[in-house]
A and B are shown apart, each in its own frame.
Chain A
Amino acid sequence: MAKQDGAGGGARRASLLYDPAFRGIAFQVVLLAVVLFVGWYLYHNTTQNLAQRNIASGFGFLSQPAGFDIIQAMIPYGSNATYGEAFVVALLNTLLISLIGIVLATVIGFIVGISRLSNNWIVARLATIYVEVLRNTPLLLQIFFWYFAVLRALPGPRQSISPVDGIYLNQRGLYMPVPVTEPGFWTIPVAFILGIAAAVGISVWARRRLMATGQQFPAFWAGLAAIVLLPVLAALVTGVPFTFELPELKGFNFQGGLVLIPEFMAVLFALSLYTASFIAEVVRSGILAVSKGQTEAAHALGIRQGLTLRLVVIPQALRVMIPPMTSQYLNLLKNSSLGAAVGYPELVAVVAGTVLNQTGQAIEVITLTMAVYLTFSLLISLFMNWYNARKALVER
């Protein structure tokens, strides 16, 4: 640019129109102006229409009492709850089902993906059938299948299936005992955290020893033992400072205990099994992307099959797998909104459904809902990008 200015100067001003640099900027300015104008127009038109129809605007409604109930709430949500609290309840429900779904889908996806490459004919075929059936049917249909076909086939509360006392499965959900804490309970979580710290310490120590002496140490089992045994020990020493509250059949339904409602189970099953079929394909393609020579070389060194997969193949496959995995996690988060169809109280059902209807604040409510999905999608993306950068091939 500078060069042209210097050379041409005033003599070329007439043909500024043909100056590529100028045109580049001019087009961008025009584009920006058009975008700003359309944005302003939409804003202006919307506010004008709202005013004309007497629709109140703003987020003030969030502090108004909501007056409706929500079947699953992780924070206290009672009679004086506001729309804002209903929003938080729905947000937490969306996060809960997405997080558990992501963990489950990843575990199932890895197992199925690896099974599909198994030398065992039956295992490989079963994995193929799983992937093809679940990947090629709509998710909403699968949610309906779980909700209306599978979970509805369960008996009523009075004829509950009860494998052991205290656990009941019926049409209203899965009822489980819930621990009720007594004084001294704090030692157990503390012991649990100490156990985790010990496990980390053991693994670091074992790694150093392996590097220094070449001797192996069962760090995984030792760590697991620390995590499990320390809290158990703490419980025994303090005299078991908790009791279990058992669900009891009172009146129409079971009361007390912890309940997994069928809406939650149906959506969780459908989401994680559906997403797992895609993750399985990601895992399979990742593993296939690793040259067979790597496996053969590992075998030639006498490394066992399991260790080869864990130490040689998967670390290399991860580099291929992480970016498509990110998309699957994002899809799972967004697909959790289909829970609205069977009454799982997630963000779309509660906020974009009930709250929108009771308040009529369509624009604010939809903005809020979109902002939440956008935020969490970006957070997942950021985390996966960070993880990807860590796992990427380090070039020297």
Chain B
Amino acid sequence: MNKLSQITIGALLALGTVSAAQAGTLDDVKKKGFVQCGVSAGLAGFSAPDDKGNYSGIDVDICKAVAAAVFGDATKVKFTPLTAKERFTALQSGEVDLLSRNTTWTLNRDTAQGLSFTGVTYYGGQGFMVRKSLGVKSAKELDGASVCTETGTTTELNLSDYFKSNGLKYTVVALGSNSEAVAAYDSGRCDAYTTDASGLYATRIALAKPDDHIVLPEIISKEPLGPVVRQGDSQWFGVVKWSLFALVAAEEYGVTAANVDESKASSANPEVKRLLGAEGEFGTPMGLPNDWAYQIVKQLGNYGEVFDRNVGAGSPLKIDRGINALWSKGGLQYAPPFR
């Protein structure tokens, strides 16, 4: 009996301490030594593994920027490939520290689902891709078409809204993952495939004959894509949010991976000095080293470099900067002041 009661009490105490020890995500990440980042399993330009299993893409670079800010080392990231269906549960349950997976910022997700969007890495919109042989020139001509998409996305909802508001009929084939949806479209199950326009271009170049498919001109929704963290941890929220802002601010001030050392040492602009940690204390209050933004730019470049390398002119996707240009150049990318 004594032994049994000891074991029981021990077990109860062990259970009790689990709930007591709930530290912030930043402390957990520091203790682990890496950032666990949820990404897409394969969307060229956003996050896709190469033949050695190394992920690259704009979403991946956000994860790396956070690692560079926390550890001063952009390689301290581990990636968890997630489907659209799995992503939120993985984040809510703590399986990943950060979700950077072409995820659309919506009101419901940001409030009722326990998620917090930290900003926008890419302003996109939903479009359609069809076979050229159909002779379709506009999404308005898709009456009666069958459309393939990935289940558990805003895409599914926009699709329904768009067809209803235009009085068109359609059938939706919603598959479990993006690769299955693309395979179903490619094999002829559907007349059209729909996702964010950027995703359409990424998908198109991966098809057997990219030239047989066209992306229709209509953009039927706003899809601000950005990193997501759990609600209720404002410290970690701040770290991720400002890592993204540091990228944008660096582009605005003309700081690049190449000139970051020189800028830090000799820039006359006080805002650049504050950004790079040469002046003031802007890292410590966040729980980060003072040179956190310097490390991000040094290792990954600024937002413009990240964009060009992954989805822009320097990549196979060749997506125009468009509304993703800086606010000062007619776009929407804007970072609050570093002061």
Contacts and interface: CB of A to CB of B under 8 A. Distances in A.
B144 A343 contact: no
A360 B114 contact: yes
Judged by DSSP, the binding face of B is mixed
A163 B8 CA distance: 71
Contact of A353 (B134, B151, B170, B171): B151
A371 interface: no
A354 B156 contact: yes
Given A69-B160, A341-B180, A349-B151, A55 B175 contact: no
A48 B232 CA distance: 12
A372 interface: no
A68 B171 CA distance: 11
Contacts of B115: 360
B145 A252 contact: yes
B137 interface: no
Interface residues of B, number: 53
Contacts of A52: 231-232
A362 B188 CA distance: 34
Interface string B151-162: 111001101110
Among B18, B152, B230, B231, max chain A CB count under 10 A is at B152
B15 A53 contact: no
B114 A53 contact: yes
Interface stretch (B29-37, B85-93, B283-291, B321-329): B85-93
Contact of B231 (A37, A41, A53, A172): A53
Contacts of A262: 189
B112 A71 contact: no
A120 interface: no
Among A50, A71, A255, max chain B CB count under 10 A is at A71
A67 interface: yes
B1 A343 contact: no
B184 A343 contact: yes
Judged by DSSP, the binding face of A is helix
Among A37, A68, A156, max chain B CB count under 10 A is at A68
A210 B99 CA distance: 75
A250 B5 CA distance: 75
Contacts of A68: 156-157, 159-160, 172, 174
B315 interface: no
A358 B152 contact: yes
A54 interface: yes
B173 interface: yes
B144 A253 contact: yes
A353 B85 contact: yes
Interface string B132-165: 0010000000111110000111001101110010
Interface in A215-270: 250-253, 255, 262-263
Among B172, B189, B231, max chain A CB count under 10 A is at B189
Interface in A373-394: none
A69 B173 CA distance: 9
Contact of A357 (B4, B11, B152, B230): B152
B269 interface: no
B152 A156 contact: no
B126 to A, nearest CB: 14
A336 B15 CA distance: 37
A21 interface: no
Interface string B229-248: 01110000000000000000
Question: Nearest 8 pairs between A and B by C-beta?
Answer: A360-B113, A357-B152, A53-B114, A55-B114, A251-B144, A343-B175, A152-B187, A68-B156
